[in-house]
Structure 1
Amino acid sequence: MNTWIAVLATAVGCYAVKLAGLLVPEGVLERPLVRRLAALLPVALLAALTAQQTFADAHTLTLDARAAGLGAAAVAFLLRAPFLVIVGAAVVVTAGVRALAG
């Protein structure tokens, strides 16, 4: 039963956040600082999520095949490769390192 309470509480919380976003006055949204934060916040959140998924294992920091894949993706990105090539490079390098590590 606790699981359903958590699911319902999460659903209500998500709805409340969306409603709060709709109720913000338009004048607030047009401020330069708010526009800049709205543009930069998704990038920061994605970077934090990527770092957490790459370098964390439960409650410890770790350096494994995921870091090698991220490095390969970074190199492909710096070489201005298309998105699918970047993802493919990360997948191939991660799989290769895991296969070699056995």
Structure 2
Amino acid sequence: TLTPSGIFRQDVYLTGEARYLLGGKMDLKASYESNVSATLSYSYNKSVGPTPFNFDYIAPLTNTLSGKLTLKPSEKVKLDLSTNYNFVTENFGNLVAKVEYKPKD
């Protein structure tokens, strides 16, 4: 399944300053039977303009590719592996492994 999405946001402040955010995301999800699934996501956001508040800061540019693999060897066990790559910093994110065990339903 391919799912595109986008955002446009404009913030206007009483100081007369304005900030704009334009971005998009594309998710590609695939599964094999009910025990293997994968998601590949690409995200791009660009922000232009200042903000007078520190709490309102948005990174000027994000450009990332992330992936997640989910394995379900049984009804009680689930394993997720995920990581990402940041095209702005040219760095990989951590490889995160998550194991879920449900002894009873």
Same fold (TM over 0.5): no
TM-score, normalised on structure 1?
A: 0.22
Greater Rg by CA: 1
More helix by share: 1
